[in-house]
Every structure is written in C-alpha cells, then in structure tokens.
Amino acid sequence: MSVAETKPQSLFEKLWRRHIVVEEESERPAVLYIDLHLIHEVTSPQAFDVLAGKKIRTRRPDLTFATLDHSTPTLPADNHGVLPYATPAAAAQVNALIRNCREHDIPLLGLDDPRRGIVHVIGPELGLTQPGKTIVCGDSHTSTHGAFGALAFGIGTTEVGHVLASQCVLQRQPKTMRVTFNGALSPGVGAKDMALAMIADIGADGGQGYAIEFAGPAVQNLSMEGRMTLCNMSIEAGARFGMVAPDEKTFEYLSGREFSPLGDSWDEAVAEWRTLPSDPDTVYDREVRINASAIPPMITYGVSPDAAAPVDGRAPQPKSDIEKHAAEYMKFDAEQPFSTATVDRVFIGSCTNSRLSDLREAASVMRDRKVKEGVTVLVVPGSEAIRAAAEAENLHLVFLNAGAQWRNSGCSMCIAMNGDQGEPGELVVSTSNRNFIGRQGRGVRTVLASPATAAASAIEGRIADPRPYLTMTGKQNRCH
C-alpha cells in the first residue's frame, strides 16, 4: 500500500479518488465519473444541439435529471393558459428542454409538475442529492449540493455536452481548504451572514483553486438548509467546491425522500456515508478560522460579494479606483451609515435563500407589519413543494397582508432572466448570491442580505438591522 493511500484523507480527497476514471497528468486533467447530472433550460440547448449534430444519444439518462427554473415565469398563466415569458428566447429555451428531454428519455419536472423548482433546491428536496456522489450542473452554484457531503460543482455548456455523451468530465484536482467557524452564532445571525463574513475575510478570489470544507461548531449547528446556503456561496469566494461532512442531520433530512434508498439499501447507504468525513489529522493546504460569535448581520455595499460589512456599519473609504467606481455606482458615500440608504425593491428567493426555513425567517419579521410605501417586495419560493408547504402554514398570507407579492417558484430576480427585475437606479436588497453590475437588471444596485435583513429593510424602506424585529417578536433563535 502506497504512502498516499495510508495518509489521512479529507472528505474531498476520498470522493475524488473514488470517482477517477483516468488519473490526472501534467498535460491533461483527470477524467471523473459523474453520479448525477442536473440540467435546466439555460445551458443545455447548445449541448443537445452538439449531440444531435454528431448523432449521439445521452449515455445515462437514468443519471440525468431536468427541471425548469431560470427562464420560467413566476407569474401564473393567463386565462388562455399562456405563460408571460419575458422574451421569445426564454420560451424557446423552455420548449427546447422539454423537447430534448422527451427525445433523450430524461426525467423532467415540467411546467405542471408539483415538484418543479430551482435545480439546487429540488435536488436535495427529492433525495437525488446524496453523500458521496459526484454531482454536476451547468450552473456555478452547484456547490450547494456539497452541503450533503457530495462532490458537486458547476460546469460549462461544452462540459454539459461531454457529460451527456460520456457520463464523465475532465477536471484538475484542486487544493484543499478548511474553513472552521468556531463559537456560536448570535441571535438574528444565520448562514447567509456566515457566508458574507467569510467572503469578506478571504476575498472574492480567496478560494480560487481550492475545494472548501466547512467545519466547526457553528457549521455543525446549522440546519441542512443553512449548510446549503453556506456551500452555495463558495463560488462567490472563488471556489468551485463547498462541502460539509455528512452527519445525523444529513441522514435525517434524506430519510424517506422520493429518491433516497429504502430498507436495507438505506442502512447500507448510511453505513457507507459514515465513512466519508475527513480522517483525523488530515492536513489541508490552507486553514481559515472564523469566530462565529463575532459575526453580525451582514450586507454587501459594493459590486462584488467580498464588499461586505455589518448591516449597522458605515460605507468604507474607497482604497482603489475599482472601489471608487463601485462606490459611485452604488451611491454610497464614505462613512455614510448603511441605514440611511433608501430601498426601492426587496427580493426574497433564489437557490441561496428560498427554502421553507428562509421564508419562515422573513415571515417572522413581516408578520403583522406593513411594507414601507413605495417599496416593491417579491417573495419567490424555491420550489412548488416549498410554495405548497408555506401556504399550508399560511406564510403566504403573512407576506400578502404585509403588501408583498407571492409568486410561483423559479430563479426570478436572482439573474433577471424571466422578467423579474429592478429598474435602472433602484436599490434592491436581495437574498440571492451575486451583486454584480446589471445582475438584477440594467443599472440596478444590489445589496445582498439574509432573509431577516431583507424583510426588515422592506418594512423600514431602508437598509435595516433585523435584530430589533426578531427581539420584538420573541424570535431569539439563531437563523437556521
């Protein structure tokens, strides 16, 4: 047995080794086998066109799963059953995926499927996402699935075609990084705040070339939904992979879901999953330690996710021409309290923060309160199943009574492909993952925040600290 086989291994290294088809060499990447390929309407049409041109069939349709999310309207169809697509191109994308899935025998959550939703929401929700799997999707936030101890990463359109044709993908092995959150989160602080604090700490490219494993008491205490939020934003730190070791919470979440193993197969799967966490004495290429108890509710103030600061803070003095340009775009003057910034629109949703726990968090702030006059609020659940569950708890009535809009599931304002977007110059407080220029509409200024912070900002009509609201409603629990 070689030294490499006997040294302690991280979770990432174990999964990497188990899925190598051809070893990496200096002149070419490794070939990795893929256990689950998730597809949606945006990055798949070109890939299917290439397969059609070469007369190639999907190699493993049984390991491929499709949903509609990016271009799909969140408003209902009209009286004639016509959906209000933002553009003809959006409708064409949806119809192309429906046609391609039919031709290639790929399971698809269609427009009328009650399980349909955002790809990174429905994977875990249905039990498709499982510890130990390699999971890819033509979407950078595929790292979300790493919350279950999976090796999950986003791929490009060309790679989508490669996986459809071969069930394999070329990949260079990254270095390993462990980010340990010590201590306990304060009331009103959650996984979104942890993610923004980490990115502010290591930078938007701090994780480039690394696979990040999140660890420590604060991570262990997060719900699975919180862990998904944290792993989702690994890509905003420059890393393609974000992972959390599977544990009893993982197994409890997956138990009984539609595509989870059953009976003896479940017992065998759990026994295997217990072997996946990193070995004691594993050495990582980089270690980062963050004091979770010192993290406040966070927001972003620039045009990159690492421009993040406490919600009750002030805009910093720009230190470079890039930062000066960002400050001018965002209209934040140096030393201006964030709480003085008027909010035009609030978006609660996306693959980062659209799960039932996120909606409950926002509802706890908005219950029996009204959205500030002039503020538009969109609440968009991550899946139709989440929408149904939220309505069963009457959360939709909380939002509607407050003056917010309650929509069907979809990516919505996160990427503004389906008609949900801000207007030029508007300031949007968003629970999504990216605050790039134009991300939520031309000329839109985006402030990233947690569901609680977004809800508080909707009520006050300015960037607002959610903690007083959570105290007033007796919600002293940590945000998932």
DSSP string, 103-154: HHT--EE-TT-TT-B-HHHHHHHHT---TT-EEEESSGGGGGGGGGT-EEEE
Amino acid 129 reads T
* pLDDT score at 210: 98
Does one domain contain both 139 and 47?
Answer: yes
438 Ramachandran zone, left/alpha/beta (phi>0; psi -120 to 50): left
The answer to the question of residue 478 being in a domain is no
Does one domain contain both 128 and 249?
Answer: yes
* pLDDT score at 473: 52
Alpha-carbon separation of residue 85 from 52, 93, 100, 350, 415 (angstroms)? 27, 11, 20, 18, 15
Alpha-carbon separation of residue 290 from 185, 433, 479 (angstroms)? 11, 20, 18
Does one domain contain both 286 and 345?
Answer: no
The answer to the question of residue 479 being in a domain is no
User: Counting beta carbons within 10 angstroms of the beta carbon of residue 82, is it exposed (0 to 12), middle (13 to 18) or buried (19 or more)?
Assistant: exposed
The answer to the question of residue 329 being in a domain is yes
DSSP-based three-state secondary structure for 318: coil
Strands of 345-348's sheet in order across: 405-406, 376-379, 345-348, 427-430, 445-448
User: ∠307-287-138 over CA atoms, to 5°?
Assistant: 60
Does one domain contain both 194 and 339?
Answer: no
Does one domain contain both 110 and 258?
Answer: yes
Does one domain contain both 282 and 312?
Answer: no
User: ∠257-260-264 over CA atoms, to 5°?
Assistant: 120
* pLDDT score at 6: 78
Does one domain contain both 203 and 108?
Answer: yes
Which pairing describes strands 134-137 and 151-154: parallel, antiparallel, or unpaired?
parallel
What is the distance in angstroms between the CA of the first residue and the CA of the last residue of the chain?
Answer: 44
Give the domain-ending residue among 295, 325, 342.
295
| CATH code, 459 | 3.30.499.10
Tell me which residue of 400, 345, 332, 395 sits closest to 375, measured CA to CA: 345
Does one domain contain both 337 and 436?
Answer: yes
Domain limits for position 409? 301-472
Does one domain contain both 179 and 310?
Answer: no
* pLDDT score at 475: 42
Give the domain-ending residue among 262, 295, 328.
295
Measure CA 26 to chain center. 33
The answer to the question of residue 82 being in a domain is yes
Give the domain-ending residue among 253, 271, 295.
295
The ranges of the chain with pLDDT < 70 are 1-5, 472-480
Rounded to whole angstroms, the Cα distance separating 129 from 35 reads 10
The answer to the question of residue 480 being in a domain is no
The answer to the question of residue 477 being in a domain is no
Place of tokens 């609020």: 377
Does one domain contain both 164 and 289?
Answer: yes
Contacts of 122 (CB under 8 A, 6+ apart): 67, 109, 115, 116, 128, 383, 385
The answer to the question of residue 379 being in a domain is yes
* pLDDT score at 2: 52
User: ∠379-434-422 over CA atoms, to 5°?
Assistant: 50
* pLDDT score at 83: 94
What sign has the CA pseudo-torsion 313, 314, 318, 323?
Answer: positive
Does one domain contain both 127 and 166?
Answer: yes
* pLDDT score at 472: 64
Rounded to whole angstroms, the Cα distance separating 225 from 455 reads 18
Contacts of 99 (CB under 8 A, 6+ apart): none
Rounded to whole angstroms, the Cα distance separating 99 from 447 reads 38
Total domains in the chain come to 2
Tell me which residue of 388, 385, 380, 378 sits closest to 409, measured CA to CA: 380
Does one domain contain both 394 and 273?
Answer: no
pTM: 0.95
